[in-house]
């Protein structure tokens, strides 16, 4: 088994859960210190930046040269970075950074390991998000990368099915990890660079996003609970094409399927506005009466 992004959070919990179930897990970490904290029976940390070709080549060599000749049963594409901010003020370089990790890095890992997965008729588990199905104000860059990952997963599932390789998507909602907070530092940088006109448009949204993220995360499940669902996606004999983590994610994904867009917009915007500064106005209401 390979789990990328296993330094902390869901990735680390998934590596531990799979090891607990008797599998040998190659756990991709960014630093030696992360690997030392994770190392345990059944878990072999490997230094892995999924955007680094040398790291990918070393991983392939490790899989192909496994001393016990174990086949690669599954790849869990979990690595990722958070992002938040209005479309207009998010620089293109930031868009590219987000997609480089959240999309292109996963494609690179998958391409590199497909020969081994084809030999073993293994499984690819792509960790998406509720934002892969539902986007809202302030979450566009991150949601776009996850929407793209959903599309790649659908195509890959159909391309590899004739060869016996299964592709599964996992869509978490709020999960209590460190990841949510790490994306907010860049949000403050975006805010500082906004023009007065942009601040008038998005100031309240940008100020409200940290509180919204914190509330969504607090209401979520633990990494250990999420890991149990991911493990099911890895080992279920006849897996579903998608697994949802968390009651809120389930509600939002179902709502996105059946509710009209305008109604869904009103729901998500209303929830966001609860986190706006008290003195901010409601631009949607103002625009409606203009």
Q: Give the CATH number, domain containing residue 165.
A: 3.40.50.720
Looking at residue 247, its pLDDT comes to 86
Say yes or no to pLDDT of 221 above 90.
no
Domain count, the chain: 1
Q: Tell whether 267 is covered by a domain.
A: no
**Does 12 reside within a domain?**
yes
Q: Is residue 197 part of a domain?
A: no
Is the pLDDT score of 286 beyond 60? no
Q: How many other CB atoms are there within 10 angstroms of residue 67's CB atom?
A: 6
Q: Looking at 139, 142, 202, 243, which residue is catalytic?
A: 142
> Residue 290's pLDDT is what?
37
Provide the angle, in degrees to the nearest 10, between the axes of the packed helices 105-120 and 140-160.
20
Tens digit of each residue's pLDDT (9 = 90 or more) over 183-216: 667 888 888 889 999 999 999 999 999 888 888 8
Banded pLDDT at 246 (limits 50, 70, 90):
confident
CB within 8 Å of 45: residues ≥ 6 apart = 6, 27, 28, 29, 34, 35, 36, 38, 39
List, in sequence order, every residue forming a beta bridge with 171; answer none if it has no partner: 244
Inside any domain, residue 268 = no
Q: How far is CA 135 from the centre of its chain?
A: 14
Asked whether residue 193 is domain-assigned, the answer is no
User: pLDDT digit string (tens) for 54-84?
Assistant: 999 999 999 999 989 999 999 999 999 989 9
Residue 171, in any domain of the structure: yes
Q: Indicate if the pLDDT at residue 152 is higher than 90.
A: yes
pLDDT at 38 over 50: yes
Q: Is 276 a catalytic residue?
A: no
- Of the pLDDT bands very low, low, confident and very high (cuts 50, 70, 90), residue 283 is low
Task: Provide the whole-model pTM.
Answer: 0.90
Structural domain containing residue 40:
2-179+222-260
Residue 135 included in any domain = yes
Indicate if the pLDDT at residue 13 is higher than 80: yes
In a domain, 253, yes or no: yes
């Amino acid at each position: 088994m390979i789990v990328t992004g296993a330094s902390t959070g869901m990735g680390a919990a998934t590596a531990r859960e799979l090891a607990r179930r008797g599998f040998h897990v190659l756990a991709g970490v960014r630093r030696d210190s992360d690997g030392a904290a994770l190392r345990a029976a059944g878990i072999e940390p490997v230094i892995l930046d999924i955007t680094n070709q040398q790291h990918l080549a070393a991983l392939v060599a490790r899989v192909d040269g496994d001393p016990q000749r174990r086949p690669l049963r599954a790849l869990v594409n979990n690595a990722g970075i958070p992002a938040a901010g209005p479309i207009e003020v998010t620089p293109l370089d930031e868009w590219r950074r987000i997609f480089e990790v959240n999309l292109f890095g996963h494609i690179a890992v998958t391409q590199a390991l497909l020969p081994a997965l084809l030999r073993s008729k293994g499984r690819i588990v792509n960790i998406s998000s509720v934002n892969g199905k539902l986007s809202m104000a302030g979450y566009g860059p991150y949601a776009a990368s996850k929407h793209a990952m959903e599309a790649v997963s659908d195509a890959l599932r159909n391309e590899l099915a004739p060869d016996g390789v299964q592709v599964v998507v996992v869509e978490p909602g709020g999960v209590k990890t460190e990841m949510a907070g790490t994306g907010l530092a860049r949000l403050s940088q975006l805010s500082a660079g906004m023009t007065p006109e942009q601040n008038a448009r998005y100031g309240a949204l940008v100020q409200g996003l940290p509180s919204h993220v914190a509330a969504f995360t607090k209401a979520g499940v633990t990494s250990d609970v999420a890991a149990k669902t991911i493990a099911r996606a890895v080992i279920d004999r006849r897996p579903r094409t998608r697994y949802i983590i968390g009651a809120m994610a389930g509600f939002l994904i179902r709502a996105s399927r059946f509710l009209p867009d305008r109604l869904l917009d009103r729901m998500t915007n209303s929830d966001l506005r609860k986190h706006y500064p008290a003195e901010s106005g409601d631009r949607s209401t103002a625009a409606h009466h203009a």
